[in-house]
Amino acid sequence: MRAAAAALCMLALVPAAAAATTPSTPAYDQQGRPIQVPFTLNAEKPLLTKPRALSIFLSEPKVASWIQRYPRKSLVHEETFSSTYRDWTVMVWSGKAGEIAQGRVDDLTGAVTLAWTGPQVAWAMARGDRTAFGGRRLTSYPVWLGFCLVFLLGLADLRRPLSLRNLDLLVLLSFSVSLWFFDRGHIFASDSLAYPPLAYLLARSVWIGLRGRASGSARPVWPVWALAAVTVFAAGFRIGLNVRTSNVIDVGYSGVIGAQRIVSGQAPYGHMPVQDDLKTCAAAGREGPSSYRIQTNGRCEAADERGDTYGPVSYYAYLPGYGAYGWKGIGDHLNAARFTSILFDLLCLAGLALVGLRFGGVRLGATLAFAWAAYPFTQYVSNSNTNDAIMPAFLIWGFWLLTSPFARGAFVALAGWTKFAALLLVPLWATYPESPLQNERFANGVRWASARLGRRERSYPEYTGATEDDASRRPAQPGGSRLRSEGGSETARRPLRPKLVFAGAFVAATLLSFWVLLLEPDPLHAARVFFDRTISWQITRHSAFSIWDWGQYHAKGIPDLKVVQHVLQVLVFAGAVAVAFVPRRKSPLQLAALTAALLIGFELVVTHWFYLYLPWFFPFVAFAVLAPSAEPVTAEAPELRERETRELVPAR
């Protein structure tokens, strides 16, 4: 009887306990998100009406500020209630602009929990997430500012704070301001702030490239051993940051997919994972069905429909990483992408050390390697695990071997078939050190005319630390040339031979790059697919990440700059041809500066620009502004005598 009485008492207390734990009002966490809601029999019935949800969303200051740019009568809207999440999804469209705003309104509180406008609607990366690129630690204030401080203190002319060298370094770091706005979702501000430093660096590179000398060398502050020690430490720190805190964004994912397709006997082009109506193989999320689908190869892979937009060499670069770590599809940590990023980051660092050692001695080698290791945007590429260190790696190593026409042709081809921007360099690199218009008889006439006018021709020496033995690159000195009679035909042929070697190497490397198309049953069709998926799409794509595509918003107060972009694009392509002829004879310093100028020019006019592109030109800007300056020397024009026709042949 006692046991029965105790049981009855416990049953009587159950309703009271349940009543005590059942919430009567919503409960929220510290971020204001609902974690507990009152139980009601009509949980599916919304508290807000569609008009009320729309009104609340349009009243949000951010949304209201953007919506006012469009005619009120052009707005079309849709409100959808989710009984699972107890909120409203509101979408607003306007004519040609398409969807212009999207967000969520909490049904219980009436609070706007998400608000995306303009570029944020279509581009998730425009919504402001500082960990999306660069990982969890790199863009934090202590780490990022630490990189900036080391870069500046290690390279600045501390004895002359107002020197041009220090200004160059500050401009290179000033992209951090634009990045700060990008990380907070202020896309129009971040776009605009990227162009002044790009324009400055373009002007500096062109000036150095045409003038043939840097602005002046700084007196060394740190000994070589200190720069080398910090570089080694920074390299290890960078690897640790990548391994422990990095993200793999879609670019690195695309590279791994391409490597897997090649190993499986397919070209990457037209064989990337798609979503379509394929069967899902992962649970749906807040944004809808998962992008993981069972592909035609039977693997569960996340859709990456535009992952085949890069050159074939980009996918070859991931083959070592894929061979070492593989890729199993869903659940894989993509260590193959991390391996590739670290590998090419170190190749860039080592290549710059060799470039500096060859053209400026041990100090310049240590300085350039330090510059790469300390520059925060090179680590931004590494921690995002993209393919943006691959192209500069090929260019750096090609520059190291620049006296070999074969090496120049092969490396610029490999760089160009990684990222197409490098193809702009072909005329410049093909004509190093002399332009096709170089003619010794013409040069002799110019010297004679200059002497008659009381002027002297300026020419520029190489760095004393260079180990060049190519006499044709050296400035003409008194007595430095000898005359050869009846040697016109041989002299005319000599400048042509290295250019033919360059062309042969370029063609050979190009054919080797495109062997992957032979994996397809119809190589000609595969070539058409390659063009459609890469160059054609890149030309016509839209992007939120430059000022040139603002016209897509059709918004009042946002200019359409397409015409200006097209004019500047023509100028950049004309410049790529012009630098093959001017200056007619180039030093390594001029080649580096003009290489940087062309790559910067491309980035200035391209529709889709991002901070990951900064390392494309950074090695050559660093060489141009950090290399020790040499004073130009002049050479008197030799006297022109009335004798038989003779040609100047450089002394050997």
pLDDT at 19: 44
Biggest alpha carbon distance in the chain?
Answer: 139
What lies within 8 Å, CB to CB, of 440 at 6+ separation is 491, 647, 648, 649
Could you tell me if 88 and 81 are in contact, meaning their C-beta atoms sit under 8 angstroms apart?
A: yes
Residue 3 has a CB neighbour count (10 Å cut-off) of 7
pLDDT at 437: 55
* Of 343, 348, 357, residue with least CA distance to 393: 348
For residue 174, which phi and psi values (nearest 5 degrees)? Answer: -70, -15
In order of 280, 590, 601, the CA distances from 582 in angstroms are 58, 10, 17
Could you tell me if 199 and 571 are in contact, meaning their C-beta atoms sit under 8 angstroms apart?
A: no
Domain boundaries, the chain: 15-117, 141-245+339-433+500-626, 250-333
Could you tell me if 390 and 489 are in contact, meaning their C-beta atoms sit under 8 angstroms apart?
A: no
Radius of gyration over every alpha carbon of the chain, rounded to an integer in angstroms: 31
CATH number of the domain located at residue range(s) 15-117 in this protein: 3.10.450
pLDDT at 595: 98
Could you tell me if 634 and 451 are in contact, meaning their C-beta atoms sit under 8 angstroms apart?
A: no
* Of 468, 409, 471, 407, residue with least CA distance to 434: 471
pLDDT at 11: 46
Residue 83 has a CB neighbour count (10 Å cut-off) of 11
Residue 230 has a CB neighbour count (10 Å cut-off) of 20
Task: Please give the Cα distance from 418 to 394 (Å, whole number).
Answer: 9
Find tokens 């004309």 and name the residue: 574
pLDDT along the chain (652 residues), means of 10: 50 45 52 51 78 96 96 95 94 96 96 96 92 91 97 93 94 98 96 98 96 72 94 97 95 97 97 93 87 94 95 98 95 96 98 96 96 98 97 98 96 98 97 68 46 43 38 39 35 71 98 97 96 95 95 96 97 97 94 98 97 98 86 36 36 35
pLDDT at 30: 54
Q: Which two tokens stand for residue 136?
A: 């969890």
